[in-house]
Structure 1
Amino acid sequence: MSKICTICARGGSKGVPNKNIKSLAGKPLISYSIDQAKQSKMFDYIAVSSDSKEILELSNDAGADFLIQRPEELASDTSAKLPVIRHCVLEVERQLNTTFDIVVDLDATSPLRLSIDIINALKLIEPDEVTNVITGMRSRRSPYFNLVEINDEGYAVISKTLPGAIYRRQDAPKCYDMNASIYVWRRDILLNERNNSVFNPTTVLYEMPEERSVDIDSLLDWRIVEMLMAERLRGPFQ
């Protein structure tokens, strides 16, 4: 099956200014996702979509096959991600006069993933009934045990109840935090514009460890990733 990897990176960022081109352990953040896609050896092509000339230039230097200029209407703070990925895929297909079977999107703000994560996530879409794959880690909070909501009367209540009481988090059903690292789709599912959710009846999850699941959305996230990356370069997470 033919596979394309997309990496979508806007120029603007409020939490960490210019984060996609900011240097992390000696190279731009955007380069990590490109390198991981190349190292996986799973893709026919790697395409980067951005509204930033500098991001596209750095992506070219890192070895991306296609540099897709994102249209202005898909580059605002409120732009949804799925239309951006669709635009990127369709533009590459137009240029190549072909279509792909599988689309994998790597979030540029998740540099701690390994190429083996990409390989293993792709394995999960091999069964015909699986429409797409998301990634996540085991949640520290459980809606059955220690995740609460405020009800209409203003009182704190557990988010999700079961017929029997849960007294230990270990006894609650397993829950996961999406880590926004890897998304895998069959092309027809991704390009169905009536479907604007990553959740489908046969979506499966690839579990990643916490130390590879930090998504950079704030300066604190950046500092955590810097620390973990420094430790990785010394060897413990390899």
Structure 2
Amino acid sequence: MRNDFHAELDSLTGSLSQMCGLAGLAMERATQALLQADLVLAEQVITDHEHLTRMQLHAEEASLLLLALQAPVAGDLRVVVTSMQNVADAERMGGLALHVAKIARIRHPAPALPEEVNGYFAEMGRIAVDLGNNARDVVLSRDPEKAAQIGRDDDAMDQLHRHLFTLMMDREWGHGVAAAVNVTLLGRFYERFADHAAAIGRRVVFQVTGSTPDV
């Protein structure tokens, strides 16, 4: 019975890791669609999100079955419960990439962003993809130091997000209200993506140590 339990737990962990990787891939494609006004990539992100949603439902069902049928305790219980929470975060990461892609699609064929901020969003996209991939890796490795690092890496995203507001509040901003709304929404999507990745990292630390890092 315990061998079956751990096999099912490994399967759940593998699914969660795959979801994090898919969320990172979705944000990579969504960022390219945003910066290049690429309708094909935007549509691909939108279509692919359904697969991530199905994975979430299956993983949550598997978690509930493990809780109901196996009655895990101690460390095993932490892994099951936090994995269920992490699955929701991974799906939400993909959902935020979906929002980015939808804005790119709505604005097509025009660019959604002023050229002035493209560099900032390129960097935010790079950080988001790295965070998604790091979450994918630490879910499998359960390395508490690397998991805690995700939260620290989130600070770089926060700094870029704050800087976007500085640009828009500057008297030199000449792109109008519609562009400012796009920048505000999109900046928030990237910032929240990073927050969800950091939450996954904190829960991996909790899985391993039983305590939550102060990051």
TM-score bracket relative to the smaller structure: under 0.3
Q: Which protein is richer in helix relative to its size?
A: 2
Q: Which protein is richer in strand relative to its size?
A: 1
Q: Tell me: higher relative CO, structure 1 or 2? Use CA pairs within 8 A at least 6 residues apart.
A: 2
Q: TM-score normalised to the size of structure 2?
A: 0.28
Q: TM-score normalised to the size of structure 1?
A: 0.26
